[in-house]
Amino acid sequence: MASISRPGGSFYHEVLAVVLQVRRGCLHVLLWRRARPPFEGAWALPGGPLGADERLGTSLGRHLAAKVALTEIAQLEQLETRSDPDRDPRQREVATAYLALVAAGLDPCLPADTAWHPLDRLPAVAFDHGSIIASARDRLRAKLSYTNLGFALAPPVFTVAELRDLYAAALGHPVSATNLQRILVRRGVIAPTDEVAPPSAAGGRPATRYRFAERELRVTNPLAAFRPPSP
């Protein structure tokens, strides 16, 4: 490391990823099982130490690559940095957490110690990772409603019914398909394609397939509150 030329300590710095995906109608997080103390047997967020010349985002990508193919990550954004001196019983450690999203339908192959866990029935979780997961979930829920973040949870094309299930799983409450379609279309977030999905075996009208208009994060709500007296 670089030498220290002024007062102040130096800190072991770790990056962590909260990788979320909707699987079988439930929001899941990617965790790996610790094989040694502390928290032996408990599950932890993937991540690892920040490298000497890395930036946080790059470092996260490097560590994450050991768990899932990076091409499967549709969205990555910094969440928050935790600094409680006691968060790791072994030593002082600062950790920066990221939120990462994987589109539904993908099923990356995982190392043996790694698995998806539903957010509403988490196993014993190591360190302060439980509260970090909660932060990530809250951030996802908030952004789903006022941005086009859904693009990162959905496959390239989908029906409104499929999208409704995705949103319901992520938001944690039932969602109206009619409203979802109307609101997202009006906001320009999703647009119909010219293809339709074949009905289920039981029949039913074939559903139009939609796609997200953009795959870059964008704020879509009015949010222009208290607008100027206009021109």
Helix (H, G, I), strand (E, B) or coil at 84: coil
Cβ at position 226, least distance to a copy of itself in Å = 4
9 binds, among DNA, a copy of itself, none (CB under 5 to 8 A by kind): a copy of itself
Say which DSSP state 51 is in. P
Q: Give the interface segment with DNA, choosing from 42-50, 96-104, 116-124, 204-212 (CB under 7 A).
A: 204-212
Alpha carbons 149 and 214: distance in angstroms, whole number? 10
Residue of 97, 89, 20 lying closest to 63 (CA atoms): 97
Backbone φ and ψ for 115, nearest 5 degrees, come out as -160, 160
Residue of 104, 95, 109 lying closest to 44 (CA atoms): 95
Out of 33, 87, 187, 218, the only residue in the binding site for DNA (CB under 7 A) is 187
Integer angstrom CA distances of residue 191 from 22, 185, 186: 22, 6, 9
Which pair of structure tokens corresponds to residue 107? 């099923």
Alpha carbons 227 and 181: distance in angstroms, whole number? 27
Out of 36, 90, 121, 205, the only residue in the binding site for a copy of itself (CB under 8 A) is 90
Instruction: Give the contact letters, 135-164, x = binds to DNA (CB under 7 A), - = no.
Output: ------------------------xxx---
* 120 vs 195 by CB, closer to a copy of itself: 120
94 binds, among a copy of itself, DNA, none (CB under 5 to 8 A by kind): a copy of itself
* 85 vs 198 by CB, closer to a copy of itself: 85
Helix (H, G, I), strand (E, B) or coil at 145: helix
Q: Work out whether 188 is an interface residue with DNA (CB under 7 A).
A: no
Q: Which residues bind a copy of itself (CB under 8 A)?
A: 1-14, 48-57, 78, 80-81, 83-85, 90-92, 94, 96, 142, 145-146, 167, 171, 173-176, 179-180, 183, 219, 221, 223-229
